[in-house]
């Protein structure tokens, strides 16, 4: 019986070339495997995630399907913030110029202190380029009036938030302070823009915390990394967590941990970051509290940020030559139901489809009934390119047999019994998520390779083997900044930093030969 059902559905759809296999891209879709740089921008528009035709470069228009996806990612984030006792706020978009100058002076001083190897407190604030000054959008007029104090659109929110922290924090009873917001930020990006990856108006999540001491702030960083792991599990994305090298640490931070996804071409995409500020920002913005000894003490602060790059990573990692593949956790429609529509059918397939959809919705699934009067092949193409995880086809024979014919976006077809359709759909969606995780993890394993060994002869260095495009390289490293610069120059790649998962056993440093467990990663990044 099942064999007959399978054959019938193949017969009904085989006239549509899009369903005939996964070997080549169809209907003008660039091949992802052969040209990812063309496939990606094509796909974000063809799948109706964004429209790039808005007349400001780097500011795309979110289309309904893309916005629903992004809001579902936000919902996962909101849930994690609620679980970890963060409270949501919403700060103004505009920030006065004097606050930018305050940030700029702090960042410039910390940067200079790092370069000179001295305590930042030993240096005075000087007029020097730093922070986001070169990237901000300015507002200097209100109507026909010049503003007394120019304002700028927030590039991030440290300056705005930390102006308020001294008003909110008075004693140790007010700590820890844990707040977050999901807002748009604006940075004048001068490099080539790419939807979700490099834009000028950024859909941005940022959490800011204040703590009594350095240890409590460090515990917050660990909690942030646990949140990252939980979110990436839902997005089916393997990630690299690496403590950035000193020269790539945000100058206002004691240290920075970058969270990178790996794209199909082997380039890394930073999708999140955590900064441990110690008390450096607190000193600049006078964020203090009265401790148990009744003394005023500076707070220690952290930030944790993510952006729409998360969606860019999902698109890049999980899509194929036929379109997107949405992880079920963030798919606007986890299930699409396509009833067979023909004249003179003895059974109302559309009514049955809506009944099934209502049942699935009541049990928490996001469902769409496609009852458009179109050829089935066109419907399948539309939902395939949008990456809907599970499609259910319902025709008269399916109804007679008490089944719905299921097609997985990851591949595979099977009849599902109607009397347990809810449980079966959840089972299939879980299996799709597991398969996406497995595929992505395998890609990560294939991409990360040991760096070829270096040799020094008569004062000059050489590398045994070659560095290939599409790979990330790992190495044991316990050398100097000069050694790191040598490696970057010879490989043409950049240090991501120290992986948060070091080597289990000591390895000889690539340059010095010193034994170390430090595991450093090299990559080309977006």
Q: How confident is the model at residue 342 (pLDDT cuts 50, 70, 90)?
A: confident
Question: What one-character DSSP code corresponds to residue 106?
Answer: H
- The CATH homologous superfamily for domain 61-90+158-317 is Bira Bifunctional Protein; Domain 2 (3.30.930.10)
Where are the alpha helices (H) located in 326-420, listed in sequence order?
349-362, 376-385, 396-401
Residue with the bigger pLDDT between 126 and 256: it is 256
The set of residues, in sequence order, having a beta carbon less than 8 Å from that of 488 and lying 6+ positions away, is 494, 495, 522
> Which tokens belong to 230?
């939980």
Bridge-based pairing of strands 413-417 and 201-211 is unpaired
Answer yes or no: are the C-beta atoms of 501 and 240 closer than 8 Å. no
Q: What pLDDT shows up at residue 113?
A: 62
DSSP, collapsed to helix, strand or coil, labels residue 110 as helix
CATH class of 451-523: alpha beta
What would the pLDDT profile of 78-137 be if each residue is shown by its tens digit? 999 999 999 999 999 999 998 887 777 777 767 666 666 555 554 444 444 555 667 889
Q: What pLDDT shows up at residue 134?
A: 77
Helix, strand, coil percentages, rounded to 5, for the chain? 40, 25, 35
Question: What one-character DSSP code corresponds to residue 313?
Answer: H
Average pLDDT over residues 155-174: 95
CATH class of 2-29+323-444: alpha beta
Residue with the bigger pLDDT between 262 and 246: it is 262
Instruction: Kindly report the average pLDDT of the chain as a whole number.
Output: 90
Residue boundaries of the structural domains of the chain: 2-29+323-444, 61-90+158-317, 451-523
**Can you say how many angstroms the Cα of residue 185 is from the centroid of all Cα atoms in its chain?**
16
Compute the distance between CA of residue 490 and CA of residue 131 in angstroms, rounded to an integer: 30
Compute the distance between CA of residue 334 and CA of residue 29 in angstroms, rounded to an integer: 23
């Amino acid at each position: 019986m099942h064999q007959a059902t399978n054959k019938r559905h193949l017969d009904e759809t085989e006239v549509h070339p899009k369903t005939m296999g996964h070997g080549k891209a169809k209907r003008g879709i660039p091949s992802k495997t052969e040209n990812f740089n063309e496939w990606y921008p094509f796909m974000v528009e063809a799948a109706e995630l964004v429209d790039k035709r808005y007349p400001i470069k780097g500011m795309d228009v979110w289309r309904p399907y893309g916005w629903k996806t992004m809001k579902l990612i936000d919902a996962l984030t909101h849930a994690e913030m609620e679980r970890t006792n963060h409270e949501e706020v919403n700060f103004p978009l505009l920030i006065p110029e004097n606050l930018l100058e305050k940030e700029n002076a702090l960042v410039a001083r910390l940067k200079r202190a790092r370069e000179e190897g001295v305590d930042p407190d030993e240096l005075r604030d000087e007029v020097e380029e730093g922070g986001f000054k070169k990237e901000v959008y300015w507002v200097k007029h209100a109507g026909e009036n010049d503003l007394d104090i120019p304002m700028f659109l927030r590039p991030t929110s440290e300056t705005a938030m930390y102006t308020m922290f001294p008003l909110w924090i008075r004693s140790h009873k007010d700590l820890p302070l844990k707040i977050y917001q999901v807002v748009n930020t604006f940075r004048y990006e001068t490099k080539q823009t790419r939807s979700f990856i490099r834009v000028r108006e950024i859909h941005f999540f940022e959490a800011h915390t204040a703590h009594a001491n350095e240890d409590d702030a460090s515990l917050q960083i660990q909690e942030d990394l646990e949140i990252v792991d939980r979110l990436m599990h839902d997005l089916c994305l393997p990630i690299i967590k690496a403590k950035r090298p000193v020269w790539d640490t945000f100058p206002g931070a004691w240290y920075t941990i970058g969270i990178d996804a790996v794209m199909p071409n082997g380039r890394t995409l930073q999708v999140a970051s955590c900064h441990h500020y110690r008390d450096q920002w607190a000193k600049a913005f006078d964020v203090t509290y009265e401790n148990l000894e009744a003394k005023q003490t500076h707070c220690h602060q952290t930030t944790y940020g993510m952006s729409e790059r998360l969606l860019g990573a999902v698109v890049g990692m999980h899509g194929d030559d036929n379109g997107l593949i949405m992880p079920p956790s963030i798919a606007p429609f986890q299930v699409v139901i396509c009833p067979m529509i023909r004249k003179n059918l003895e059974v109302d397939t559309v009514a049955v489809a809506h009944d099934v959809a209502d049942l699935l919705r009541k049990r928490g699934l996001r469902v769409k009934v496609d009852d458009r009067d179109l050829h089935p092949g066109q419907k399948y193409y539309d939902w395939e390119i949008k990456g809907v995880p599970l499609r259910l086809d319902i025709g008269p024979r399916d109804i007679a047999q008490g089944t719905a014919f299921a097609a997985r976006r990851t591949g595979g077809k099977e009849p599902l019994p109607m009397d347990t359709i809810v449980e079966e759909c959840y089972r299939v969606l879980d299996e799709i998520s597991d398969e996406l995780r497995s595929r992505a993890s395998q890609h990560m394993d294939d991409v990360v390779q040991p760096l070829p060994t270096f040799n020094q002869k008569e004062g000059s260095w050489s590398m045994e083997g070659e560095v290939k495009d599409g790979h990330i390289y790992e190495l044991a490293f316990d050398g100097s900044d000069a050694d790191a610069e040598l490696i970057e120059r010879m490989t043409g790649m950049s240090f991501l930093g120290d992986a948060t998962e070091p080597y289990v056993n000591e390895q000889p440093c690539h340059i010095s030969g010193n034994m170390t467990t430090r595991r450093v990663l090299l990559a080309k990044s977006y």
